[in-house]
Amino acid sequence: MAAPSRSLAFLLPNLFTAASIFAGVYSMIAATQGRFGFAAWMILLSLIFDGLDGRVARLTNTCSRFGAEFDSLADIIAFGAAPAMLIYLYAGHEYGRFGVLVSALFVIFGAIRLARFNVMTAQTEPSVFIGVPIPTAATFSAVLVLLFTKYGGHAAYGWIILAGALVTALLMVSNIRYPSFKKIDMHAMHVKRVLVALLVAASLIFLYPIEGVALMFTIYILYGPLRATWFFYQRYTLLRKYRHRHKK
């Protein structure tokens, strides 16, 4: 009986990965039907399934090379093709070739991001992400669509969605570092901070689901460039002090 139960344990995380693909495909179908809000929610559902497959694999000790490759293929569908389709059909088609270019670059840069991640994690899992993770970029674009469908005005301000998609696409292939929540330091002194942050985030999402998610992902995306700018400023200041001392 041990062998079948072990096989089921390996199957479980892959079922979540398959569910992520299904939600991504469903999102594309909904987008072609003009159900843009539903299509955006399907991308968010894919994010949940994508988070569960890795967690379940670690909890059941069933991480495998097949699972990693399957997860990458799922990501390019759910977080590459699906948001690109949503972006183009919701706003991009109104901007001609520029809309096509942004949607295509989102998928291409997302694929590059996944390929680089797979190469970097072939040996060890990094403590930070190099570039914005593709699920984050996809979710940000989906949340923008949800905000526009809720408050209206996408005909006049659809360029904001294209600009957001283009910026996140470029950030995916950048060398800017982002924190990985897979390796959160959970020492006693940090538990209270993490708990308070989670409670505040959960409360915000409970009161304002779309706005809360949009705010959190915006903060995360901006964190990378702001952190990089701060470190660049510190290095520049130290360099100026060093040169000033040597001139004397």
* Secondary structure of 7-54 as H, E, C letters: HHHHHHHHHHHHHHHHHHHHHHHHHHCCCHHHHHHHHHHHHHHHHHHH
**β-strands 177-179, 128-130 pairing:** antiparallel
Query: Contact at 8 Å (CB) between 47 and 133?
Result: no
Tokens of 240: 């100026």
CATH of the domain at 94: 1.20.120.1760
pTM: 0.86
pLDDT tens digits for the chain (248 residues)? Answer: 445 555 666 778 889 999 999 999 999 999 999 999 999 999 999 999 998 887 887 777 777 788 888 888 999 999 999 999 999 999 999 999 999 999 999 999 999 999 988 887 765 556 788 899 999 999 999 999 999 988 876 656 788 999 999 999 999 999 999 987 765 555 555 667 777 877 888 888 888 888 889 999 999 999 989 998 998 888 878 877 766 676 65
User: Does some domain include residue 246?
Assistant: no
User: Does some domain include residue 209?
Assistant: no
Range of the domain at 16: 2-184
User: Does some domain include residue 108?
Assistant: yes
User: Does some domain include residue 170?
Assistant: yes
Partners of 177 in the beta sheet? Answer: 130
Task: Give the whole-angstrom CA distance, residue 38 versus residue 30.
Answer: 7
Question: Residue 101, Cβ neighbours under 10 Å: how many?
Answer: 14
Question: Residue 45: which of 162, 106, 110, 135 has the closest Cα?
Answer: 135
Number of domains making up the chain: 1
User: Does some domain include residue 226?
Assistant: no
User: Does some domain include residue 87?
Assistant: yes
User: Does some domain include residue 224?
Assistant: no
Question: Residue 40, Cβ neighbours under 10 Å: how many?
Answer: 29
Q: Which bin fits 64, alpha (ψ -120 to 50), beta or left (φ > 0)?
A: beta
pLDDT at 204: 84
Q: Which residues contact 175 (CB under 8 A, 6 or more apart)?
A: 130, 131
Question: Residue 48: which of 94, 16, 15 has the closest Cα?
Answer: 16
pLDDT at 158: 83
Question: Residue 177: which of 236, 112, 132 has the closest Cα?
Answer: 132
User: Does some domain include residue 160?
Assistant: yes
Query: Contact at 8 Å (CB) between 13 and 54?
Result: yes
pLDDT at 180: 79
